[in-house]
Structure formats: C-alpha cells, structure tokens
Chains A and B, each alone.
Chain A
Amino acid sequence: MKKENSRRIFLKNLSLATFSALALSGCNMKKVDEFLQKNFRTLTKKEVDDLIKNLVIEYKEKYHKDFHLSAKPALEETLFGYALDLSRCIGCRRCVYACVKENNQSRNPQIHWIQVLQMEKEKGIDFAYSTVQYNPETVPDKDHFYVPIGCQQCRNPQCIKVCPAKATWQEPDGIVVIDYNWCIGCRYCMAACPYGARHFNWGEPNVPAEEINTEMHYLGNRPRMKGVVEKCTFCVQRTREGKYPACVEICPVGARKFGNLLDPESEVRYILANKRVLVLKQELNTQPKFYYFFGI
C-alpha cells in the first residue's frame, strides 16, 4: 500500500513539474493553447474574438504590419457559384498570379491554387493531352484552348468526407474551407480530390512582408503554416464583403463570372439557363459549383 502511494505521488509531482515548466516558458504556452483550441465551428463569439486578437498580434510580430482578420460568417440566402467561359479564356495566367497575391500563397516553395491547362482543340477536353508548362511569346495559340482549374467547390465534396480531424467543411454559402489550426497534415483530402485542387505546405511557406495582403479571413487567406493543406476559397475574405474574387477582377477577357446561385438575376444563373455548360469529371458525382461554358 505504501509503495503504491509513493508512486502515485511521484507521478503527480512529475506532471505538475512538466506543466509548470511549460507555463513558465511563455511562448510554449501559446502553442499549448493553440493545441487545445476547439474546432472553429464550436467556438463562441467571445472565443473567436480572442482567437482573432491573438492571431493579429502574432502576424504583426512576424510581418510588422497591421492586419484585418475577419471571421465573418456566410451571408444569408447565398450559394456561391462560378462560371468560366472556355471560348474566351486565352491562357494568359493573370488569374494565377492575382490569386497568389490576394491569398498569400507561398512564393518559395511555390504554391499556385490555379493551374491553367493548355489543351488541343483537336482532342477536346482531355487531360492526357494537356500541359501547364506552355510558354509561347503570346497567347492564345491558334491550335489550343485553355482550361483553368482550381477548387471546384463541390456540393458533394469528397475531400471533407475523408478528413479525420474535421478540419475542412462546407459553409452554408457553399464554400469549402479549411481551419489551418485543425489540419493535421495527413493529406487524405488531397488524395480524395479528383481535381488536384488542394496543396500541401511541404516547407515553411514564404511570403515577403512587403507583398503580404493584410485583408484576411480566418478561413481564407491568413498565413498558413508548414504541414497544412490549402486551396481556393472563392476569396472568402472578398466575396463575403460583396467583392468579386481576385481572379474575376483581373481577367482581361472577362471569361470569369461569379455570383449567387440563389439569385435568378445573377450572371451565373443566366449562363446555366442559356449557355452550353459542363462540369469537370461529372461522372464522379462531385457536383461542382464551378461551371465551364461556351459563350461563343
């Protein structure tokens, strides 16, 4: 009896010691807090506010800039949809870099949320005859057409089903988001995504302080860490404020259309009703809210 008691006391003291050691080294404590943080969706308003406040301080320390970090929830009566005119797109890649800049994608190692595939007019949409590496003097090339691909914002997203941590989910406005603090980096979602739309931070992401976009959303373009997955969020930090996504705004040919699928007056609804529309890999039943169409 006595023996057991002393072991128990020993264990108790040990845990106490480690805990106070942790507590004493303040910086580690923040990490512990982060580690113990609840899933974003279960946080109260107050907890969200505290979380945001701490992150803004952290970002300021790192980038020496003032950030605006939003946690604005989905707008009511809104389901975001996107349409891209394949007969207009000229493959200029302006959207790729506008997206990198807006969404603070790592410059080195390089992460691009949008891939522009060049395809052969003769073959039609066939991934076997596509390349992202095309680089002529000018575009468009007369024998090719271009298919930009990012997150297809599926109604039936496989990626969120396989996440063991519930770190990625679909918001009420249809945007599939990731809580980088909850992502454990297992990359199951990347394997499940048929569009290659998710990207992993193999290294420490690197965005020069002078280029960082300080208008941010918790579920969107805030700085990511090494070991987490990221992807397009329809520019949640912009679109929930009424703005167009950065790729729509930059597109010089007006091939990119964005709006509310629940609003019969939106251009996306007009396109669905009046144009020839397709979705990629329809046979997989992912049901994208990203449509390709032929404006002609």
Chain B
Amino acid sequence: MKDKNYKNIKIPVIILMLFCFLILSCDDKKSDGNETHKVSALKNSSKKPEKTNEYAVEAPPFSDGIFPCTDCHKSFPPNPVKRELVKWHDDISAIFNHDKENRWCLDCHDVNNRDSLKLASGKLLDFKESYKLCGQCHGEKLRDWKVGVHGKRTGEWNGKREYLLCVHCHNPHSPKFKELKPEPPPMRQIDIK
C-alpha cells in the first residue's frame, strides 16, 4: 500500500521538477550569446570633419529659377538707395521684417555681385555659407548651430551629417519661425473600440 502511494506521487513530482528546470534555464543568460557579430559604433564616424571653417550643408532653398541673380541683374544698374521695391521683389519688400528700421537689402546682399552675400567687413560670401552672415549678429545661435543643438543636422548620428542652413527654417527677410497647422489630436480613450 505504502509503495503504491509513493509511485503515484513520483510522476507528478518529476514533471514539476522538469518544468522548474525548464523555466530556470530560460532566464539569466545575458544576450552575450549573439555578440559574435559585434559592430563598433564609431567605425564609420568620419573622424571629426568640422575642424575647418566650412560645414557640409544642404543646398540653399532658392525659389525656382531665381539663381543666378546676375542673369537678370546684369541688364540694369544697381540702385543702392533704401526704398520700397515695386518693380520687382515687391513680395520681399512687403514682408521685410528683420530689424527693418536699421537694415536694408544691401547690408546682406552685395551691391555689385548679386550672386554673393556680404559680411559687414565687406567680405563676399557664398550662399552656402549664409550662416556666417547670420552669425555676425546671432553669435550664440551660431555656436549652438555648429554643434548641432540649434537647428538640425541630417544624415547619421555616428557618421556623415549635413546641416540645415538658418535660412531653411528662417526666412532671412522675415525670420520669425512660421506657425504650423498641427496634426490631429489622438482619439479619446473612450472612443477607441
């Protein structure tokens, strides 16, 4: 009789033990199992490309067909007088709102070479370097921009990156960031079936 009872218990106990064993063997082992194909994060980082003064930027956001400006401007003499523009660029004149009292087109654009920007020093500047122009007056922003904190870089977090120029986000003639229409709000919890 005793013997029989013992037998009855034995099978469930063994199953239980097997089960516990299975569960235990499932955890704990760290993910090291598949670390044979380790990849280094810094492998494709382009060893600090920005030691020079130049930054890889996305193409300046010109309106279609407007550049080179000289295509049109070579056909008439420049007019350095500060004024409302009516014959052309009246759209720019109308929105111009960048320290308007004290500033005028030719503080930033060169009077003789419309295909270049111009620093206060008189030095000419390619449109790809317009951030230097802005940096004359917004030095702190430029500093943060260089390290990717103000503005935005695209590309890879550990590799090649390009900067968005200031003018990709700020119209240089009316620099306040434009308001946007928001995407729709989430469904209310009670409306979710």
A and B bind:
yes
A residues near B (Cβ < 8 Å) are: 4, 38-39, 41-45, 48, 71-78, 85, 90-94, 96-97, 108-110, 112, 115, 132-140, 166, 171-172, 202-203, 239-240, 242-244, 249, 251-254, 257-260, 262-263, 265-267, 270-271, 275, 295
| Residue on A nearest B31 in the bound complex, by CB | A41
List 29 A–B pairs whose Cβ atoms lie within 8 Å, in order of A's numbering. Answer: A4-B4, A38-B26, A41-B30, A43-B33, A45-B33, A45-B34, A71-B34, A72-B37, A73-B38, A74-B31, A92-B180, A92-B182, A93-B182, A94-B183, A109-B193, A110-B192, A132-B185, A133-B185, A133-B186, A135-B184, A166-B26, A239-B157, A242-B44, A243-B157, A244-B155, A244-B157, A267-B148, A270-B147, A295-B150
Which A residues lie within 8 Å of B183 (CB)? 92-94, 96-97
Binary per-residue interface labels of chain B (31-51) against chain A in the complex, 1 for a CB within 8 Å, 0 otherwise = 101111111111010001000
Contacts of B153 in A (CB 8 A): 267
Tell whether, in the assembled complex, residue A138 and residue B179 are in contact, meaning their CB atoms are under 8 Å apart: yes
B136 within 8 A of A: no
Q: What's the nearest-Cβ distance from chain A to residue B56, in Å?
A: 16
Instruction: Give complex CA distance A291, B68 in Å.
Output: 44
Per the 8 Å Cβ criterion, residues 132-158 of B in contact with A are 144, 147-158
Please state if B186 and A132 are interface contacts (CB–CB under 8 Å): yes
Do the beta carbons of B34 and A73 come within 8 Å of each other? yes
Q: Is B2 an interface residue (CB 8 A)?
A: no
Which residues from B are CB-within-8-Å of A94? 183
Sort chain B's interface into a size bin.
35 or more
- Alpha-carbon separation in the docked complex, A267 to B169 (Å): 20
How far apart are the CA atoms of A41 and B33 in the complex, in Å?
A: 7
**Closest A-B pairs by Cβ, 3 of them:** A254-B152, A93-B183, A138-B179
| B10 CB, min distance to chain A CBs, angstroms | 12
A266 proximity list for chain B (CB < 8 A):
157
Distance in angstroms between the alpha carbons of A202 and B150 in the assembled complex: 40
Residues of A within 8 A of B179 (CB): 90, 138-140
Tell me the complex Cα distance, A90–B65, Å: 32
Q: Which residues of B contact A (CB under 8 A)?
A: 4, 25-27, 29-31, 33-42, 44, 48, 144, 147-159, 164, 169, 177, 179-188, 192-193
Q: How far is the CB of B5 from chain A (nearest CB, A)?
A: 12
Cα A257 to Cα B153 with chains together (Å): 9
The answer to whether A72 and B39 touch (CB under 8 A), given A42-B33, A109-B193, A239-B157, is yes
- CA gap between A240 and B37 in the complex, in Å: 13
A76 & B30 in contact (Cβ 8 Å cutoff)? no
Which chain B residues lie closer than 8 Å to A172 at the CB level?
31
A57–B156 Cα distance when bound, in Å, is: 31
| Contact status A78-B41, CB under 8 Å | yes
Q: For B158, what are the chain A residues with a Cβ–Cβ distance below 8 Å?
A: 242, 259-260, 263
Chain A residue nearest to B7 (CB atoms) is A4
Contacts A44-B33, A135-B184, A252-B180 given; does A267 touch B149 at CB 8 Å: yes
Contacts of A93 in B (CB 8 A): 182-185
> Given the complex of chains A and B, what is the CA–CA distance between A73 and B30 in angstroms?
12
B41 contact from A4, A166, A260, A275, Cβ within 8 A: A260
Contact A90 B42 (CB under 8 A): no
A97 to B149, CA, bound (A): 23
A43 with B157: in contact, given A93-B183, A138-B181, A263-B42 (CB under 8 Å)? no
